[in-house]
Chains A and B, each alone.
Chain A
Amino acid sequence: MLELLEGALAHGDWLELRFHDRISRSILVEDGKLEGARSMRHAGVGVRTLVNGAWGFASTSVLTPEALAAAVGAAREAALAAAKRRTSKQPRLPRLSWENKTYRSPTRLPLADKSLSEKIELVLATDAKVKRGGSRITSSSVRYSELIDEKLIVTSDGARVRIADTKPELRVSAVAAMEGELQSCTVAEGKTGGFGDLFARRSADEMVEKAVKVATDLLRAGYVEGGKKRVILAPDVVGLLVHEAIGHTVEADFVLSGSAAAGKIGERVASELVTLCDSGASEHEAGAGGVVLVDDEGVPAQRVEIIKDGVLRSYLHNRESAERFGVEPTGNARAFEFDNEPLIRMRNTYVEPGTTPLSRMVADTADGLLLVGAKNGQADANAEFMFVVGEVYPIKHGMLGPLHRGTTITGNAFDVLKSVDMVGDQFAWELGSGYCGKGQPAKVDAGGPHLRCMVTLAGKEQP
């Protein structure tokens, strides 16, 4: 493959050829029935060029010298067409000294060690355990999926980088019913590595136990009142906050569009207790779902301190934006598959843990809520966010109360981070399952310790 890609480099302008061979498999069981098991192979070469200040991109799944030459020609034609309409000159790409080698993500118990039949059996057995979870459980669903990636990146300025990693995921869902009412809970793990990584924190049985308990308990749970509240965010909600509401605003392409973080390097944007990072490695706990040892431009992935002790320090960069900002690229250029162009994306985004045990955070809270179970979320250019949390536990006089129904929280992320007055001492990666969307999907992860802060909750009167 290296010879094939190098053979296509005969082209006067800067050129990047990225071969990506992805095998993905998934197994879905619902209510005891295997709804689908599938195997997919999506492989080819993405060609990117920079001509007269404009980018051109083309892709091909035909791996012959002729097809590659045609793709190079198509990318060049596209770039030339775009260059005619550009009004400003594109900056050059920074010169880099490449670390040309194979980057292989750490793996415990490789996915290949289990046969297809064993994986199907795991999913069927897990689904059956959900179904046996109690008389209220009416529906069950379990999905296993895995991505197996091999890449080779070759550029006209010297990159010869190979990448190999695997990312498994398991999602367990339970639906409970009572008197015409339905409640559901999904528990998911998504990791980089093998089965040892997927089940390092909790087993499939423990995931079942949690999904069944929360879905069942929600049937009898009440609602909390809306309004601005003192809350303790669990690590999964912290992960959602730092990914959606802070992370996207510091992606350099979004900064250039005028995001809320634009022009704020060096300013205090959070409590001094907050240090917020994005790293290609799995810091603090192995197996984070967004591990990227080297990005899709061949740049080794850095640990970026976005906020250090409350002060905004850095944005996230690809080669192009790094040159425009006059900084080093951070290894945040990522493409989902060969036919996607690399974009600036997060990897593993997190808040550094502090020193306060959760028990002390609760004991110190006279009137507040513990928010657990990040379900989904979105954030705006101005850092205003909306997140759904699945479980709410009132705290009164330092005591944790019973489960209440999930709700939506909102606020300005930087205001929320400024209100942080306690940082927990336990760390967890929590968002490794599923994908971040930005025109194309990306596997990411996010997490942190518990944080105590102020947010606004949507509320509902007790029925």
Chain B
Amino acid sequence: MTSAGQHLLDLCDEVLARAREAGATAAEAYAEYVKQTSASVEQNELKGASSAEHEAIGLRVLVGDRLGFSYVNRFDDEALDQAIEDAVAIAKASPGDPANGLVDPLPGKVVKGLWDDALAVLPPGDVVKRTAELFEAARKVDRRVSVDNASFSSTLAHSAVVSTAGVRAAASETAASWALFGMAVDGDEVGSFDAYSAGARTIKDARTAAGAKRFGETVVSLLDPRAGKSYQGKVLFSADAFCEIFLDTLFEAIDGDVVLKGKSRLKDKLGQRVAAPGFLVVDDGAKHGGLASGAFDREGLPHRRTVVLGDGVLHAFLYDGKAARRAKTRPTGHALGSARNLPSIGTTNVEVGAGAASDEELLRELGDGLWVGRFSGNVDGVSGDFSGVAKGSFLVEKGKRTAPVKETLIAGNVFDGLRHVLACGKQRHQVMATACPWVLVDGVDVTAGT
């Protein structure tokens, strides 16, 4: 236990005691301290650096089965008393709900790899240096690469959660994150933009050069796009595009709260095949060094490894305490959020099972068609219908990516698409906390612009 963690635990104890005095019958306090140092490049020039410290507390109170929540980013007595008064007043003004309550504590295992001493004390000069290196690595690929924005940040965070139901936990973690956003400009021609972002738990793992080089190569390759071809059939999705269209929608559909409210197409499908045979999706918030790993979830329960889809069969819905009470089941350790919000259900580190084919073999299997790099569009989380523009995407001819396409729209349905996954690549690409291969999906509408 760090002294910072103990300080936050003590603060939570004090706030809970005061909340009880103010009329709460039960309460939970989640306190956090975050320090972030970052630097940014804008319009191809180092703009500046920043240093921010943030402390805050989120207070959930119950008056019987009535719920109130308040947040404040100051720890002085006046601010805390006002936050307690607000939370209790909201609870008293709200109707009751038997699902309102606090979770009982559960033992968890230690999650390793979330702290790095060197990253915790990284000075502003080093953050600036890494930002400049990130930017320069992208620019040196080609003089036409234009970086609208690049940034590198180091973050250290301490958090604690204490409840009158017996939850009491504190943790500390570090993270580095970096991002590039820009396009290629060649005379009068402005290419399609692209973005690259990644993160690491230790400074040793904060390797930015390879990703920056790929970003530079990508934006240059998107110059001089041509019209695509209209067809219905197989489309090969990059990890980014598959995550945005398919995985995000899948996870919305297995959110226990969404299921309970009847808004999920998968609400009656537990134990049934909902994706192609062999298709595997796992969520693991306890993964060693995972970007989305944590010692506990927003309610103080341990994260765990959850097989969501195994061999295409739906194995699990995800629950926080409230949804679990409504569904008469147990929470799964998927309560996410910060001090600023009530807990909500979400995923952590996601892995899609790798297949047998190399990326080149997947392109050959596609033959003639579309490789989608990025998706700019809309997915209806209820129906699963999606439609949007294939950005950063390429025409595939005779198994090879031949030219970037412009104004090419794709449309389909996520749940139909999951059943029509033809193949997954054997190489998984990291999209922040998600590891996903390229995925070949059948039955997608492609409409080419002119």
Contact = CB atoms under 8 A, between A and B. Distances in A.
Contact of A381 (B52, B94, B193): B193
Given A60-B53, A182-B383, A341-B50, A39 B86 contact: yes
A460 B232 CA distance: 10
Interface stretch (A77-85, A157-165, A292-300): A77-85
A381 B192 contact: yes
A221 interface: no
B371 to A, nearest CB: 18
A426 B82 CA distance: 46
A408 interface: yes
Interface residues of A, number: 82
A93 B125 CA distance: 25
B70 interface: yes
Contacts of A42: 71-73, 340
A386 B51 contact: no
B450 A57 contact: no
Contacts of A407: 387, 411
Interface string B18-54: 0000000000000000000101001111111111111
A226 B409 contact: yes
Contact of B93 (A117, A139, A181, A183): A117
Nearest to B126: A81
B378 A388 contact: yes
A87 B382 contact: no
A12 interface: no
Contact of B262 (A39, A120, A138, A259): A138
B49 A256 contact: no
A421 to B, nearest CB: 19
B48 A116 contact: no
A359 interface: no
B387 A256 contact: no
Contacts of A177: 262
B129 A139 contact: no
Nearest to B47: A55
Given A57-B51, A182-B382, A388-B377, 7 more contacts: A37-B69, A41-B82, A86-B45, A87-B45, A388-B388, A458-B409, A460-B387
Interface string A248-285: 00000110111110100000000000000000000000
Interface string B124-161: 11011100100000000000001111000000000000
Contacts of A437: none
Given A42-B73, A57-B48, A60-B53, A258 B82 contact: no
Contacts of A256: 42-43
A184 B377 contact: no
B449 A411 contact: yes
Interface string A434-463: 000001000000000000000011111100
Given A257-B148, A386-B377, A226 B447 contact: yes
A458 B148 contact: no
A36 interface: yes
A410 B67 CA distance: 45
Contact of B48 (A59, A78, A461): A78
A380 B181 CA distance: 11
B8 to A, nearest CB: 15
Contact of B378 (A38, A88, A408): A408
A190 B276 CA distance: 43
Contacts of A258: 146, 183, 185, 190
Given A31-B261, A79-B49, A257-B146, A38 B342 contact: yes
Given A34-B67, A381-B193, A456 B48 contact: no
A460 B445 CA distance: 7
A346 B165 CA distance: 47
Contacts of A78: 37, 39, 48-51, 124
B196 to A, nearest CB: 15
B391 interface: yes
B66 to A, nearest CB: 9
A43 interface: yes
A16 interface: no
Interface string B251-265: 000000000011101
